Amino acid sequence: MKSLEIQSKTRVYKVEIENNILDHLDKYLNPSFRYVIISDDHIPIKYIEKVQKACPNNLLILFPEGEKSKSIEQFSRITELMLEKNIKKDSTIIALGGGVTGDLAGFVASVYLRGIDYIQIPTTLLSQIDSSVGGKVAINSSQGKNVIGSFYPPRLVLIDPKTLDTLSPRQFSNGMAEMIKYGMIADKSLFDKIKNENVKDHLDHYIFRSLEIKKDFVEKDEFDNGLRQSLNFGHTFGHAIESYYHYDKYLHGEAIAIGMVMVLSKPEIRKELIEVLKKYYLPTEDSAKISDLKEYVNRDKKNRNELLNIVDVLEIGSCVITKSQFQL
């Protein structure tokens, strides 16, 4: 079992990483408390049953799987349902699933009755190494991704790497894009291990190391005003690609993979990155032209007073943020 403690401005919370942690959730949940389990309709039912067993007094709310559910409509449906069922302020939401579930359920928790507790139980590689930690919660609008959201840390994060056994190969690769990102921006030896070893042999180790890196950035800049933007390496173009294709063509990590390749200024670094992305069956380019993406990239720009922050890697294991107008 591995454990991390994340210091946020509003609370300190633990991240527990343990194979089969879902089989002894009674250690973490109180059977007499009221819980709202929020999950999507593609999560293997056995995980839902394990959580329900540990908290019999639960309300289960399922939503259609996929990015399109990070929407005002689903947010509204879930909150109305919780109000109808008389869910009170002392109840706790459990976000059981991938990053979509965590972002949506976390956003509901952040505003429901002006904020209730929530626990993250991430079940995709992407959510285990990234989205479940750091407190960013959000939904999308027709105007862009994650544009309605808040910073709202969970009470607890419980990670069971064994849940990844049922993940599709494509979803596994999707998460690998974010792990490769951590290696690129912060840890050359992680990058080399990802390149040379079989990550699946020691998944708990890789998840832990990824989260140590994320913890470091988040604790130094929780509200994303400077250093934390390093985690956005590849995301400016990645988000633009996702939006350009209306979230249909690529998964989040796949779009980030292309975005990382696009933004690198040094050809030799790009070559190394492409090699590793290919090892994990990730795309490295797309036929959309930069001019096609301009509109979507500029939306990010507007959020930062016309200045677009670009994260570049000049040497694997570290990164630089250039606050400049990106000429498109």
Ligand X SMILES: NC(=O)c1ccc[n+]([C@@H]2O[C@H](COP(=O)([O-])OP(=O)(O)OC[C@H]3O[C@@H](n4cnc5c(N)ncnc54)[C@H](O)[C@@H]3O)[C@@H](O)[C@H]2O)c1
Using CB under 6 A as the binding rule, whether residue 43 contacts ligand X is answered as yes
Which residue stretch of 81-89, 125-133, 187-195, 268-276 sits at the interface with ligand X (rule: CB under 6 A)? 125-133
- The minimum distance between CB 32 and ligand X, in angstroms, equals 28
- The minimum distance between CB 196 and ligand X, in angstroms, equals 25
Q: Which of residues 216-235 bind ligand X (CB under 6 A)?
A: none
Using CB under 6 A as the binding rule, whether residue 181 contacts ligand X is answered as no
Using CB under 6 A as the binding rule, whether residue 153 contacts ligand X is answered as no
Tell me the C-alpha distance between 2 and 204, whole Å. 8
- The minimum distance between CB 146 and ligand X, in angstroms, equals 6
Q: Residue 66 to residues 17, 138, 191, 268: CA-CA distances in angstroms? A: 25, 14, 29, 35
Cβ contact 154:231 at 8 Å: no
Task: Give the contact letters, 62-101, x = binds to ligand X (CB under 6 A), - = no.
Answer: ---xxx--x--------------------------xxxxx
Nearer to ligand X, 34 or 53 (CB): 53
Using CB under 6 A as the binding rule, whether residue 126 contacts ligand X is answered as yes
Q: Where are the alpha helices (DSSP H) in the chain?
A: 45-54, 72-84, 99-111, 125-126, 169-186, 188-196, 203-220, 235-244, 252-263, 267-279, 290-303
Exposure of 126 in the CB half-sphere (CA atoms within 13 A): 24
Instruction: Figure out which of the listed residues 163, 210, 232, 243 binds ligand X, where binding follows CB under 6 A.
Output: 163
Amino acid, single-letter form, for residue 44: P
Greatest Cα-to-Cα distance within the chain, rounded to the nearest angstrom: 58
Q: What's the sign of the alpha-carbon dihedral 301, 304, 305, 310?
A: negative
Using CB under 6 A as the binding rule, whether residue 252 contacts ligand X is answered as yes
Nearer to ligand X, 54 or 70 (CB): 70
Nearer to ligand X, 43 or 258 (CB): 43
Cβ contact 284:235 at 8 Å: no
CB atoms within 10 A of CB 200: 11
Nearer to ligand X, 252 or 326 (CB): 252
Cβ contact 162:125 at 8 Å: no
Nearer to ligand X, 18 or 324 (CB): 18
What phi and psi, each to the nearest 5 degrees, are found at residue 94? -115, 120
- The minimum distance between CB 18 and ligand X, in angstroms, equals 15
- The minimum distance between CB 247 and ligand X, in angstroms, equals 9
Query: Which of 216, 141, 158 is closest to 18 using CA atoms?
Result: 158
Using CB under 6 A as the binding rule, whether residue 300 contacts ligand X is answered as no
Instruction: Figure out which of the listed residues 15, 36, 158, 167 binds ligand X, where binding follows CB under 6 A.
Output: 167
The length of the chain in residues reads 328
Kindly determine how many residues on this chain lie close enough to bind ligand X according to the rule CB under 6 A: 30
The residues of the shown chain that bind ligand X, judged by CB under 6 A, are 40, 42-44, 65-67, 70, 97-101, 103, 123-124, 126-127, 130-131, 134, 136, 146, 163, 166-167, 171, 174, 251-252
